[in-house]
Chain A
């Protein structure tokens, strides 16, 4: 140790000798700054208060418009029903056409369905479909009283404001198990068990045979939803057939959960994570691709079966290519083109989240079943490429079914409504 260089007195002396540090500003300057600071602080106190007041005000305004809006919807819906009861088919049609835009999404499902029927009586095919649906007509009437905000078109679930849990889509394999057809079931009553419970209920009530599809459900698996609803665990028992036919099983899962907003599936065997599939090998999880760039075609097993929209097996690089493919059939006699040959366009442009289709001059759109399906197929294909709206330019017909071609059409919620 070195001897200390300093004693306490030295240190005290050094401290006393520390230099003077002066504030170089002049007093006027300082005084002005104090004034500014004080003013600022006082104002700052007002800011959160004002923000809170204006937020409350906004909330009140929004809430009141929402509440009155709901009332209007309710009364409109009732009017629609009355009109329908009057059997004035002409006015019904007009009404159903008026109500297509999603902002005024108030049409009653029943009114629309009747309106559709009127426009398409000439097609015998549709009558078949109506028969198929007929049994549920009474039920859906009951539903109308409960839920006014659901808009249904003839074949698909449209409204962006559909109470989402009530719409359940299930992917079902076709007869040859080459394609998976998404079909949508609308729950009319509360189903216990959350999203998984609803899905299992839909799988159990589904009559695959009547739709010309393979008897596939219910599945011998146990599904449990994650806390946020974006992930679902599927527990597969040992020796399940699903392990052997895993590729089809994966297509069914993809075509089912795509429409439910589920992003990821996890697999477990008797509670243990990870499952050994015969083709895919060991697998713990599967990502659901919401935009898998498929083209929507039409599936129909035979003359007595309904027509259903079905996504292609191939993915396409661009929506242009997908739309082209929708005009051509496939070698499979049950998979038909969804867009009629007369439906032609000059260009397909992307504008942000919109697709703009400029129709060619020769295209004569018709307000009938064939073009309605084509339109819905286009809307789903656009959705599959991640777009939000489809706009038609040069359309000579104002509306097809419930869709107003003069406005950008929002993509659809779920295809092939079966009840």
Chain B
């Protein structure tokens, strides 16, 4: 087995897989994409000069792989759907909840589902910042953005997630609570 592969696998595989999984929310797709990340990394590892940290370099590759995946998917499926339904708002495949999430409490499930309503950029920031625990500076490097852009995107993502969660929670509440008492 390639020593580069081994090294990256040991250090980063879990992080890369998890990052991709939360971006695409599908185990099989994430598996395919993480392989694609390795292919790209092995091809260009000799060009990696250590200018940035290995970690941010790998995440930026993973993000590009994911974006390519979305583009490809969009090219045949979503474009077709979009051309028929202009009112549609970012409807995604309804993947079953992974068991890890299903076992969690209701609030976690709400957050997990609310991520679907974020744009790819918002989701990337959210995952990198909170799930991968990257700093603002690291996140900015991965995404190739300025730190202030990371901050505003993160802020908007949180606001959106909160809003979606409240809507969802409201739906699940018994209707009697919603009736005003006046």
Q: Do A and B come from one complex?
A: yes
Complex interface residues of chain A between 124 and 165 (CB less than 8 A to chain B): none
Contact A31 B13 (CB under 8 A): no
Q: In the complex, which of the residues A2, A16, A18, A31 contacts B170, with contact meaning CB atoms closer than 8 Å?
A: A2
**How many A-B pairs fall under 8 Å by CB?**
92
Closest chain-A Cβ to B81's Cβ sits at a distance in Å of 27
Instruction: Report whether A19 and B5 are in contact in the complex, using a CB–CB cutoff of 8 Å.
Output: no
Could you tell me which residues of chain A, from 1 to 29, have a CB within 8 Å of some CB in chain B? Answer: 2, 4-6, 8, 11-12, 14-23, 25, 27-28
**A238 interface residue, CB < 8 Å from B?**
no
Q: A33-41, A212-220, A281-289, A329-337: which one contacts chain B?
A: A33-41
CB < 8 Å: which of B38, B112, B170 contacts A34? B38
Residues of chain A lying within 8 A (CB to CB) of residue B101: 18-19
The residue in chain A whose Cβ has the minimal distance to the Cβ of B126 is: A15
Answer yes or no: B120 CB below 8 A from chain A CBs. no
Name the one of B13, B35, B112 contacting A18, with C-beta atoms under 8 angstroms. B112
Q: Are B13 and A19 in contact (CB under 8 A)?
A: no
The answer to whether B9 and A19 touch across the interface, beta carbons within 8 angstroms, is: no
Q: What count of chain A residues pass the 8 Å CB interface test?
A: 27
Asked whether, in the complex, the Cβ of A19 is within 8 Å of the Cβ of B108, the reply is yes
Least CB distance, B82 to chain A, in whole angstroms = 29
A38 to B30 alpha-carbon distance, docked (Å): 18
Interface residues of B in 79-106 (CB under 8 A from A): 98, 100-101, 103-104
Cross-chain contact B1 with A4 (CB below 8 angstroms):
no
Of A19, A25, A28, A30, the contact of B38 (CB 8 Å cutoff): A30
Q: Give the secondary structure class of A's interface.
A: helix
- 1/0 contact trace for B154-175 toward A, CB 8 Å? 0000100110011001100000
Please determine whether B169 and A27 come into contact, CB atoms closer than 8 angstroms. no
Verify if B42 is at the interface (C-beta below 8 Å from A): yes
Q: Are A18 and B161 in contact (CB under 8 A)?
A: no
> Interface code A275-313, partner B: CB below 8 Å = 1, 0 otherwise?
000000000000000000000000000000000000000
- Closest chain A residue to B159, Cβ basis: A8
A-B contact pairs, 8 of them (CB 8 A): A15-B130, A16-B130, A17-B108, A18-B111, A21-B30, A23-B13, A30-B34, A31-B1
Residues of chain A at the chain B interface (Cβ within 8 Å): 2, 4-6, 8, 11-12, 14-23, 25, 27-28, 30-31, 33-34, 37-38, 41
Binding site for A on B (CB under 8 A): 1-2, 5-6, 9, 13-14, 17-18, 21-22, 27, 30-31, 34-36, 38-39, 42, 98, 100-101, 103-104, 107-108, 110-112, 126, 130-131, 133, 158, 161-162, 165-166, 169-170
